[in-house]
Structure 1
Amino acid sequence: MQNRPLSHVRVLDFGHYLAGPLAGMMLADLGAEVIRIDPPGGPRWKDPAFDMLSRGKRALTLDLKSAAGRDTALDLVRRADVVIENFRPGVMERLGLGPEALRQANADIISLSLPGFASTDPEFAGLAAWEAVIAARTGQFTDMGLNRRLMGINPSFTPLGLASAYGAAFGAMSVLFALAARDRTGGDHIEVPLASALLEGLVYNCEQVEDYPDRYKSPRELELERRAREGLPNDLSFAELSEFLDPFYRTYTCADGRGFYIVSCSIVNHPQRVLQVLGLGDLLKELPDFDVYVDKADWPADWALRSYPVGARDRQRLSEAMKAAFLTRPSHEWEALFGAAKAPATAQRSTAEWLADPHALASGLVVELDDPRHGRIRQMGNVAWLADDPGTMIKIAGPKPDDVRGDLSCILEEPPRTSSGGQGKGGWLDGLKVLDLTNVIAGPTIGSTLARFGAQVTLVQPVRPSVDPWNAVVFGLHAQRGKESILLDLHSGAGQEALWRMVAEADVITMNGTDQQRASLGLTESRLNEINPRLILVQLDAWGGPRRGPKSDHLGYDDLAQAATGVMTRFGGGPETPEEHAHFGTIDALTGYCACVALGAALERLRVTGKGGIARASLAAAGEMIQAQFMYDFEGRPAFDEPSGRAARGWGPFYRCYTAADGWMFVAAPTERETALARVPELSDLVGCEADLEAELCNRFAKRPVAHWTHAFAGSSTGITPLGSLHGTRNAGLQLESEGTIDICKATFRAVRHDRHPMGRWVDLVAPNAVRPGKAGITIPGPAPKYGQDTRKILARLGYNDTDIQGMIDAGATAESWSEKYLPE
C-alpha cells in the first residue's frame, strides 16, 4: 500500500531468531518494503512466532558464502535504504558485507547491527549470545524483584525476550532518526548491543541513591532490611508475602474467582476513586491526606492517601475491607466500573485469554490474518503507529511455504539510490524542539531518549503536583534527565496562554494520556494542524490501539499491562499466584522507546511530505512485544507451555540455569544439544542418556567452577556465563561524572555516578549507550532538573517580562518549585 509513513523505504533484513526480525517487523508494520534474506534451506528459526515476525516481508534465499550470493546482496544494498543484521560480531565482515563494504556499495545506507554484546568489548564480544545468556550475564534472572527475594528464590528464570524487545525498539528508532537526518548527516552504521539495551530497559532496577530515605521504601523493602538486620531467613510463602503488599497495589479475588489487580497509588485522587467504586467511601473520612512534598518529620500522620505506601496503622484494615468488597462482584463487572471511574485496575488474564480479548481485537492491539501455514491466526498488532495511517490494521502474512523465495529481478533493474551528499556531524535530532507534557516513567522516557540525540526538551508539569515524590522525583532522576522544567496551571487562562505559546514554537509534543485526556487539553488534531501542520504529537496510553475499543479510555500503568496481557500469570505460575514481572518499568521503558519509533516514522514522513500528525504507542502493545515468542494463537496451536512459575530454571537440559561449584551459571546449547556434550570428556557419556538428563547435568556441573565449563565449551555455539546481578553489572561499569568524559563506546555495560547531583546525594544511573552510531553524536544528558527550576527563564524566552512573570506566580498560574528540597526526606 502506497502513502504509508515508510512506503518509500526499502529494508534488507538479514536478521535471524528474535531481535533482527522484530526490528524488521516494526518497520514493515509502518509500511516499509522489507526483504528478508534467508540462507539456503530457509530460516534458522522455524516457528509460528517467526512467521508472525515475517508478516509484510518478501523473502529471498541467498548463499552469502558464495561470490554470487554476496554480489547479489551488494546489488540490493545499492538499491536499499536500510540493512539489519544480528549476527555475532565479525560474521558480516567475513561474508564481505561489513559496514565498510556496505558503505562502498551505497554511501547513504543506514546499517543496523544487533549483536548480543558490544563488538568492541574484549570480555564479551565472542560469547555465544543466546537470549538467556544475555539476560543471565546482565543480571535479569538474579534477585528478580522483592517478592522473590522475600521468598528466598534466586535465580528466577523468565522466558521473556526482554533484551531482544528493547534492542529491536532501540534499533528501529535509531534507523528512523538516522533516515530523517540523512540529508544532513549522510549514511551511518549503528550498533545496538542487546545486553546494553537490556540494562537500559531495566534502568530503574539499577538506580541507586545515596542514603535513600526510608519514606520511599515499600513494606517489602523494609521487611527485607529487618530480616537482614536480625539474621532471619527470607522464607515467606506466597500467602504471607501478599500481606506485605500495599492495599492499592495488589491483586484481589473477585466473586468469579478471577484475580483483579489494582495499581492506584501515588497519584492524587486514585485511591479515593478506588474506595468510592468499592462502596467504601466512608473510610475516606478516617484516612489522612495532606501535602507530601515536605520532609516526613513535618507530616501530621504517618502516611497520606496521595503517597505510596499506606502506613502500617491502616494497611491491614484497608486490605481486609477491600478483599470483602471485591468478593461481591465478578471481575468483568469490576473492570467496567473501575474503567468508568478512571481508577486504574484490570482483571488478570493469560496470554491466550488476551489474544481473544474483545478490547484487544476491537482496538487492533491483536489482529487476525490468514496465514498459509496456520490458517486464521490471531497475533500481536503494531507496537508503534501513526493515527492517520490507513494501512496500520492491514496485516499480510509472510512468504508462503512454496514461495520461489522472492524473484527480485525487478528491483535489481532499478538504478542505485542517489546519494544525499550529507556529511554533517552532530546528533540526529539537533535543533528539534520538544514540549514534554508527560509524567511518571513511560511518557518521560520519550523526552529523555530524544535528548541523547540532540533534541531540546522542555518539561511542563502542574503547579500543584499530581504525583507523589516517589514517582515524580525518584523515578525522574533518570526519566527527566537532559530537560528544562517549568510549572504551569493549565486550568488557568494565563497557564493556557503560556502553554500555547510553547506549542506554537514546538516541533514535537509528547503526552501520556487517553484520547479523552488529550481532548481535555485542547490538543486535537485539527487545532494542532491549524497552529502548525508540521507539528507531531507523540501520545502513549495504557490500552490504546490503532482503533477505538471498549477500554481505550481506561487508565493504566506498567503492572496493569503485565496483568492484562498474561505476563503476571506466567511469571507467577498460574492464575492463583500472579506476580509482577520483577522489575520496575519492564513495560514502561519499552513503551517510551516504541513511542520514539512512532516518532521516527512521523519524522521520516514529515521529511518526505511535509505532513505532521499523531504518533502512537501503548503499554498494552509493549506488553505484547516482550512476549513476542508466544503472542499468537490459531486452531491446533501447540499448548502455551513455556516455562513459568517460581521453580522455573529454563527450557530444559540444554537451556537452563545450573549450579557450578562456585555459583550459578547459564548453559545455552539449543542447537548443538548432545553434540555439545560429546566434545566435553566429563559429559560425553551422557549422549543418548536414558536417565533424567537434567538431573545428571545438575550433578556433573556442580563438581567444577564456572570457568572450567566456560573453557570446556569454548569455540562453539554453546554459550555459558555466570549469572550476574543488575547491581553488580552496574557497579562493574561505573564511572564518576566528576572525572569528565564518560566512555560509552567500548564496553557493553556502562553506568554513571552523578556525584555532583543537585539533590545533594550521588545517584548511580545507567549510561545512554545502547545506541552507538558510527558518525552521529550521542549526548549524555545532565541531571534531571528540580521541578520548576527553569520557569522564569522559559517564560522570558516566550516573551513575558519580569512583571508579567511575577504576576503569574502570585496568581498561582505558574510556580518555581514543588518543594524546598530536591528530594523531600
Structure 2
Amino acid sequence: MTDRPLSHIRVLDFGHYLAGPMVGMMLADLGAEVIRIDPPGGPRWDDPAFTMLSRGKRALTLDLKTDQGRKTALDMVARADVVIDNFRPGVMQRLRLGPADLRAANLGIVSLSLPGFGSTDPELAKLAAWEAVIAARTGQFTDMGLNRQLMGINPSFTPLGLASAYGATFGAMAVLLALGARDRMGGDHIEVPLASALFEGLVYNCEQIENYPARYKSPRELELDRRRAGGLPLDLSYVDLGAFLDPFYRTYRCADGRGFYVVSCSIVTHPRRVLEVLGLDDLAATLPDFDAYLDQKDWPDAWAMRNYPVGPRDRARVAEAMQAAFLTRPSWEWEELFGLAKAPASAQRSTREWLADPHALASGLVLEVDDPRHGRMRQLGNLAWLADDTGAMDKRPGPMADEFRADLPTLLAEPPRAEPLGKGAGGWLDGLKVVDLTNVIAGPTIGSTLARFGAQVTSVQPVSPSVDPWNAIVFGLHAHRGKESVLLNLGAERGRAALARLIVGADVVTMNGTDQQRDALGLTPAALAAINPRAILAQLDAWGGPLRGPKSDHLGYDDLAQAATGVMVRFGGGPDTPEEHAHFGTIDALTGYAACVALGAALERRRITGKGGVARAALAGCGAMIQAQFMYDFDGRAPFDEPSGRKTRGWGPFYHCYRAADGWMFFAAPNERGAALARVPELADLTSQPEEGLTEALVDRFAGHPIAHWQERFRGGSASVVPLGSLSVNRDAGLHHESDGPADIRRATYRAIRHDQHPMGRWVDLVAPNAVRPEHAAITIPGPAPKPGAETRTILARLGYTEDEIAAMVAAGAAGEGWAEKYLPE
C-alpha cells in the first residue's frame, strides 16, 4: 500500500452517464485504481464533462454481449473490490453480470447499482430515467422555491444534476462503508436509486410539522399564505420580492455593480458583525436583541436580532441602510472585509468566474489538468479528501481508449481476491462511536447519516445556544435524528475535560468549521492524536480545500457557496437577477454526504494502517458538484449557455416540460429525438420540422391529450413521459406512521416517516433513509431527534462522573440540560 487512502482498492467502473462515473472519479481521487469499462465504439457520453469525470482512471473496451467479453469482465471481477454500474434495472442481469454472477466470481465483491428509480418499484422501475425525468417525477421542478411561487411561475426547469450528485455521494459512501465491514460481513450488493437519493437530499423541502408556529415563517412564506388565503394573485415581479427578503439574507449591489450575497442570520453574533463591518454600529444599537428561545408571547419586543427573520417594523430601514453602505466599496473589498470580520457573505459569480477564481485555484477546489484532448483544462476539484493525503492534488488526465489493454495480462495473472472471513449480520458501522460537534444542516448530516448504518452518535452542543431555534430545532428534527444529546460549555475547563473523555472512547469526531475554529476548540490534528491516535476528525466548512487559499478561514453557508460557484446567477438567469436555488439544503445535505465519503476512506485507511487523521469536504466543492456537467473550462470551450432563468422549461424540444390536457409532464427523448416522434401517429408529421419552432408545435400537440395517453404512445425505447411530481405529494403517498411499527422502506422509490410519538409533542413528517439499499447489511431508521440536553446526565454518568460532580457542572454552567422549557419554542 502507498500513502494514498484507497491505493489497495481496485474498482471496475461500468458507469456511462453522470452518477456512475462520478462515483468512480471520487474513488480515484482518493487513490483507488479505477478501470473504466467502455463498450465497442467508445463511451456512450462523449463530452468534456465525461473526460473530467474520467480523471485518474484507465480504460478498457469490452463487448459484454460476447462470451469472451463477459469472461474477461468476470476474471477482472475476481481480482477487484468494487463494481459500479448505472444501467436500468435488469441490464446487468441480462449481460449475466448481475449481483449473483459477480458473487460467484468473487464472494467479497462490493457491487453498486445506481438506477434512476428503485428496481422493486412496480410503477417506475422500467422508465428510461434521464436526469430530468428523475427530477420531474420526484418534484424538483414543481413549486421551485418561494420566489417562483410568489411570481406565479410553476413549473420551472433547472439543468442542475442534483439526483446524480446525491446518488453518487450516497453510492461512494456506501461502497466504502461496505468495504470496511467486509471481513466481518462479506461482500454486498448495494442499490442507490437516484430518485430516492434526490428525495432524501431535498428532505428539508418536504418536512412537515403539526401546528407549525408562524414565528418561524419567513416574510415570503407569510406573504404567500396571505395571498392564498385571500385569493389574491401570485404575480410579484423580481423587484417586488425585495420587500419580502430579510436584510441579513439577500443580495446587495456594490460600487462595481456586482451582487453581494449576505447570509448572516440565525447565529447570535452574525447580524451585529455585518452591521459593524458596514459601519452601521449606530443602527445596530437601535435593534432589539434578546433570547431567541423565549416563546413569542414572552418577547420584550417585536423581534430579536439573534432570531430570523427581522420584523416588519425594521426590515426596510435596515435593508436600505445596508444597501447604501454597500455602494461605497467594490465587491472584492467587501469580500475581504467580511471574511476578516467572520461575517458570512460572498460576491456573486458565474460558473466560469468560479473556475478562474484565485481562491478556488489556490485551494484545490478547482483543478488544472493537462488533458490530451482539450489541453489545459480547469475542472471541479476534490469532493472528499484526507488532509494529509499528499497525492490529493496530483490528477492524471482522463484515459484514452484501451489504455489498460497492455496491462490486462498482468492483472489476470494475479490470484483472485481472498474470500472474506465471515457473513455477520447487522449494520456496516455497528460499534462505531461518533462525537458530533456540529450545528445547522451540513455538519449534523454526517452523524445522522452514520446512525442509519449502526453508529452510536453523541451530539455535543453548547449550554447557551449560538444558533436560533429555526436552524437548531426545526432543521434539527431531521439533522439530529438517531443521536443522543449532551450540552457542554467548551469554553469552561470542566466542559473541555468532559469532551476529552468522550473523544478518548470515540472513533470519529465531526465538526463544521474552519481550521481556525477547529484549532480554537483544541482539535488540531496533533491535539486530537494526543487524546486518541485512532480518532478521525470529519470536518467540513465552506471554502476549505486540500490546500490553503485566501478564503480558507472565511465563514459561509449553503447559499454563499451557491453565490460563489455560479448556481445563483445560473438559476436567476444572469448577474442582475441572481436567486438562491429553490430548495433548502441544496448543497448542505450533499456536503454532509461528501464528508461521509471522506470519512469512509479514512476508516478504510485506519483499518489497514491503524492511523487516524482528518477527513474533509467543503460546501464550495459541492456547489461545483451539482454543476458537474458544466464545471470545466479550456481554450475553445463551447459557450456557457445552458438553460437558466425563471422562464426556462427545458433544454430544447426533446427535453422539456409540456402541459398535457390534464396537467404538466416532462418529455425526454434526447437520443431518439425525431425518431421518437415518428413512432407516434399524432406527432409523426413533425419529424420534418426544424427544431427551431418545434417546441411551440409540441406545446399545441401535447395539450390535446392527457398525460396517460402520451405515456402509452412513447412506451418502449429510450423516450420517457412522466407527470411532474411534487415533493409533498410523494411524501404523503409513501407515508408510514412510526406508531404502526417497523416500516418496509426499500420497496418503493419514495418513503417518508410520520414521527407521531415525537418528544416535541407535535408529529413531524420526514423522508425515510431509503436511498442506500444493501442486500445484506441492515439499515436503521433513526429515532426522533432528542430535545437538546435530554441525555446530559446519562452521558456524563457513563463517562464516570458522579451525581454530585454532574450537579456541580450543571450549577456552574459547564454542562446543561436544556435550552428552553419547550422542545420547540412557540
Q: TM-score, normalised by structure 2?
A: 0.99
After TM superposition, give the deviation of residue 532 of structure 1 in Å: 2.1
Q: List per-residue Cα deviations over 1:559-605 (Å, max 9, x = no partner).
A: 00000000000000000000000000000000000000000000000
* Equivalent residues of 1:60, 1:407 under 8 A apart: no
Other structure's SS at 1:262 match:
strand
* Equivalent residues of 1:434, 1:457 under 8 A apart: yes
Cα distance in 2, alignment partners of residues 286 and 460 from structure 1: 34
Which residue of the partner structure matches residue 650 of structure 2? Answer: 650
Which residue of the partner structure matches residue 772 of structure 1? Answer: 773
After TM superposition, give the deviation of residue 406 of structure 1 in Å: 5.9
* Equivalent residues of 2:377, 2:633 under 8 A apart: yes
> What pairs with 1:232-271 in structure 2 (closer than 5 Å)?
232-271=232-271
> What pairs with 1:193-592 in structure 2 (closer than 5 Å)?
193-400=193-400, 403=403, 407-592=407-592
User: Letter of the aligned partner of 2:794 in structure 1?
Assistant: K
Other structure's SS at 2:460 match:
strand
User: Letter of the aligned partner of 2:797 in structure 1?
Assistant: A
* Equivalent residues of 1:209, 1:764 under 8 A apart: yes
Cα distance in 2, alignment partners of residues 558 and 384 from structure 1: 17
* Equivalent residues of 2:13, 2:36 under 8 A apart: yes
* Equivalent residues of 1:58, 1:406 under 8 A apart: no
* Equivalent residues of 1:30, 1:601 under 8 A apart: yes
* Equivalent residues of 1:60, 1:406 under 8 A apart: no
Cα distance in 1, alignment partners of residues 606 and 245 from structure 2: 47
Runs (4 or more) in structure 1 with deviation over 4 Å come to 401-407
After TM superposition, give the deviation of residue 531 of structure 1 in Å: 2.1
Cα distance in 1, alignment partners of residues 92 and 135 from structure 2: 24
After TM superposition, give the deviation of residue 268 of structure 1 in Å: 0.6
* Equivalent residues of 1:462, 1:487 under 8 A apart: yes
Cα distance in 2, alignment partners of residues 456 and 320 from structure 1: 48
RMSD: 0.9
Cα distance in 1, alignment partners of residues 189 and 400 from structure 2: 32
After TM superposition, give the deviation of residue 494 of structure 1 in Å: 0.8
Deviates more, 1:686-695 or 1:358-367: 686-695
After TM superposition, give the deviation of residue 404 of structure 1 in Å: 7.2
Which residue of the partner structure matches residue 126 of structure 1? Answer: 126
User: Letter of the aligned partner of 1:317 in structure 2?
Assistant: R
Matched, 1:820 2:801: no
Other structure's SS at 2:685 match:
helix
* Equivalent residues of 1:399, 1:405 under 8 A apart: no
After TM superposition, give the deviation of residue 403 of structure 1 in Å: 4.6
Which residue of the partner structure matches residue 146 of structure 2? Answer: 146
* Equivalent residues of 2:541, 2:619 under 8 A apart: yes
Cα distance in 1, alignment partners of residues 718 and 131 from structure 2: 13
* Equivalent residues of 1:432, 1:456 under 8 A apart: yes
Which residue of the partner structure matches residue 693 of structure 2? Answer: 692
* Equivalent residues of 1:372, 1:401 under 8 A apart: no
After TM superposition, give the deviation of residue 405 of structure 1 in Å: 5.5
Cα distance in 2, alignment partners of residues 535 and 73 from structure 1: 38
Which residue of the partner structure matches residue 36 of structure 1? Answer: 36
Deviates more, 1:314-323 or 1:396-405: 396-405
* Equivalent residues of 2:59, 2:401 under 8 A apart: no
After TM superposition, give the deviation of residue 534 of structure 1 in Å: 1.2
Cα distance in 2, alignment partners of residues 108 and 641 from structure 1: 45
Cα distance in 2, alignment partners of residues 2 and 661 from structure 1: 61
After TM superposition, give the deviation of residue 2 of structure 1 in Å: 3.0
After TM superposition, give the deviation of residue 3 of structure 1 in Å: 2.0
Which residue of the partner structure matches residue 713 of structure 1? Answer: 714
Cα distance in 2, alignment partners of residues 420 and 115 from structure 1: 27
Cα distance in 1, alignment partners of residues 348 and 528 from structure 2: 38
Cα distance in 2, alignment partners of residues 85 and 623 from structure 1: 25
Structure 1: tracts of 5 or more residues without a match:
none
User: Letter of the aligned partner of 1:484 in structure 2?
Assistant: E
After TM superposition, give the deviation of residue 285 of structure 1 in Å: 1.4
After TM superposition, give the deviation of residue 422 of structure 1 in Å: 2.1
Cα distance in 2, alignment partners of residues 403 and 190 from structure 1: 29
* Equivalent residues of 1:373, 1:401 under 8 A apart: no
Which residue of the partner structure matches residue 671 of structure 2? Answer: 671
Q: List per-residue Cα deviations over 1:81-119 (Å, max 9, x = no partner).
A: 000000000000000000000000000000000000000
Other structure's SS at 2:37 match:
strand
Which residue of the partner structure matches residue 47 of structure 2? Answer: 47
After TM superposition, give the deviation of residue 745 of structure 1 in Å: 1.1
Equivalent residue pairs, number: 825
Cα distance in 2, alignment partners of residues 136 and 313 from structure 1: 40
Which residue of the partner structure matches residue 640 of structure 1? Answer: 640
Cα distance in 2, alignment partners of residues 406 and 123 from structure 1: 45
After TM superposition, give the deviation of residue 407 of structure 1 in Å: 4.3
Cα distance in 2, alignment partners of residues 457 and 306 from structure 1: 29
Cα distance in 2, alignment partners of residues 619 and 413 from structure 1: 43
Cα distance in 2, alignment partners of residues 750 and 509 from structure 1: 30
After TM superposition, give the deviation of residue 421 of structure 1 in Å: 2.2
Structure 2: tracts of 5 or more residues without a match:
none
Cα distance in 1, alignment partners of residues 693 and 151 from structure 2: 28
Q: List per-residue Cα deviations over 1:383-431 (Å, max 9, x = no partner).
A: 0000000110011111126857564221111110011222001000000
* Equivalent residues of 1:12, 1:80 under 8 A apart: yes
Q: TM-score, normalised by structure 1?
A: 0.99
Which residue of the partner structure matches residue 782 of structure 1? Answer: 783
* Equivalent residues of 2:368, 2:376 under 8 A apart: yes
- Percent identity, aligned pairs only? 75
Cα distance in 2, alignment partners of residues 424 and 60 from structure 1: 35
Which residue of the partner structure matches residue 794 of structure 1? Answer: 795
Cα distance in 2, alignment partners of residues 167 and 286 from structure 1: 48
Cα distance in 2, alignment partners of residues 493 and 392 from structure 1: 37
Matched, 1:722 2:707: no
Other structure's SS at 1:58 match:
strand
Other structure's SS at 2:294 match:
coil
* Equivalent residues of 2:433, 2:456 under 8 A apart: yes
Cα distance in 2, alignment partners of residues 723 and 420 from structure 1: 45
After TM superposition, give the deviation of residue 201 of structure 1 in Å: 0.2
After TM superposition, give the deviation of residue 528 of structure 1 in Å: 1.4
Structure 1 pair 35–401 and aligned structure 2 pair: CA distance change class (3 A): closer
Cα distance in 2, alignment partners of residues 296 and 664 from structure 1: 41
Structure 1 pair 91–33 and aligned structure 2 pair: CA distance change class (3 A): same
Cα distance in 2, alignment partners of residues 405 and 646 from structure 1: 48
Which residue of the partner structure matches residue 17 of structure 1? Answer: 17
Other structure's SS at 1:650 match:
coil
Which residue of the partner structure matches residue 87 of structure 2? Answer: 87
Cα distance in 1, alignment partners of residues 569 and 409 from structure 2: 49
* Equivalent residues of 2:8, 2:32 under 8 A apart: yes
Which residue of the partner structure matches residue 74 of structure 1? Answer: 74
Other structure's SS at 2:328 match:
coil
Other structure's SS at 2:274 match:
helix
* Equivalent residues of 1:59, 1:406 under 8 A apart: no
* Equivalent residues of 1:660, 1:704 under 8 A apart: yes
User: Letter of the aligned partner of 1:772 in structure 2?
Assistant: R
User: Letter of the aligned partner of 1:243 in structure 2?
Assistant: A
Cα distance in 2, alignment partners of residues 569 and 745 from structure 1: 37
Which residue of the partner structure matches residue 807 of structure 2? Answer: 806
Other structure's SS at 1:687 match:
helix
Cα distance in 2, alignment partners of residues 405 and 513 from structure 1: 45
Cα distance in 2, alignment partners of residues 137 and 407 from structure 1: 44
Q: List per-residue Cα deviations over 1:470-498 (Å, max 9, x = no partner).
A: 00000000000000000011111111111
Which residue of the partner structure matches residue 171 of structure 1? Answer: 171
Other structure's SS at 2:633 match:
strand
Q: List per-residue Cα deviations over 1:777-819 (Å, max 9, x = no partner).
A: 0000000000000000000001101100001111111110000
Other structure's SS at 1:11 match:
strand
Other structure's SS at 1:243 match:
helix
Cα distance in 2, alignment partners of residues 405 and 316 from structure 1: 67
> What pairs with 1:78-117 in structure 2 (closer than 5 Å)?
78-117=78-117
Other structure's SS at 2:251 match:
strand
